[in-house]
Amino acid sequence: MTVHHRDTPAGRSLRAGSLILLLAAAGLLDRHTLPHHRPAPPAGQVAGVDMNGRPVRLDQGAAPLPGQQREQDAEPDGAGRFIVPSVGLDVPLGTMNEVDGSVVPPGFTSAYRITNLGTPTAPETGTVYVAMHSLRRGAIGPGNYLFALDTGASRLAPGATINAGGAHYLVDGAATIPKTDLPTASTVWADVPGRLVVLTCLERPDDTPAVDNFVITAHLAPSDEDAP
């Protein structure tokens, strides 16, 4: 399934999404099933460190291709901070492009604002999308802070605050969405002024690959909505 965009005065908005979150050891975010002919890195390749400084090892086929890495134009910081005080999450907010329908954050200690989906720099006019890794096998990424591993329940209560690059949001709720259902999840891809959508993989207690996505939605706090 492809992703179609339309340009509006408020910015580029997502009309039809097909984001599928495929979990590797490092929490791969991808919109398409990985092609079987894709070159795979060596098993156990160290790709970075988690939030505790421990090495993160990629499963085979988890790394983006070199050309995709260049087009991502990813920066691990520079857009402020992504802060959820109620769960103790405070990480750099970076930026990156989706490329060929894929979103593969290059790091495991930052959240990434997707620059070519939604309205990333004008939160009051549309939806802002933020993606981050969650990790398994004992590793910790930003996404692991958002849910309880044993139950899969959200750790963010309705009304909890999220600071995404200086814009303050209040949590509306969370949803667990099977990967196969995310492409047609209209509530995720709707263009809603002042909305934040946070995407990660929902880890499983038995450390097997994730089959679901974990999605947090929030709206701009009134003071931010009224800001010029």
Report pLDDT digits (tens) over 1-31: 223 333 333 334 443 344 444 333 444 343 3
Average the pLDDT over 113-124 and give the result: 93
What does the pLDDT read at residue 228? 43
What does the pLDDT read at residue 25? 41
Give 197-227 pLDDT, tens digit per residue: 999 999 999 988 888 999 999 999 998 665 4
Give 138-194 pLDDT, tens digit per residue: 899 999 999 999 999 999 999 999 999 999 999 999 999 998 887 788 888 898 999
Quick one: fold of 4-225? Sortase; Chain: A; (2.40.260)
What does the pLDDT read at residue 62? 65
Closest by CA to 44, choosing from 62, 32, 59, is: 59
What does the pLDDT read at residue 3? 31
pTM of the model: 0.82
What does the pLDDT read at residue 179? 82
Whether 110 and 93 have beta carbons less than 8 Å apart is answered as: yes
What does the pLDDT read at residue 209? 85
Residues 6 or more apart whose CB falls under 8 angstroms from that of 60 comprise 40, 41, 42, 43
For residue 40, the number of C-alpha atoms closer than 13 Å in the C-beta half-sphere is 13
> Phi and psi for 223 in degrees, rounded to 5?
-65, -35
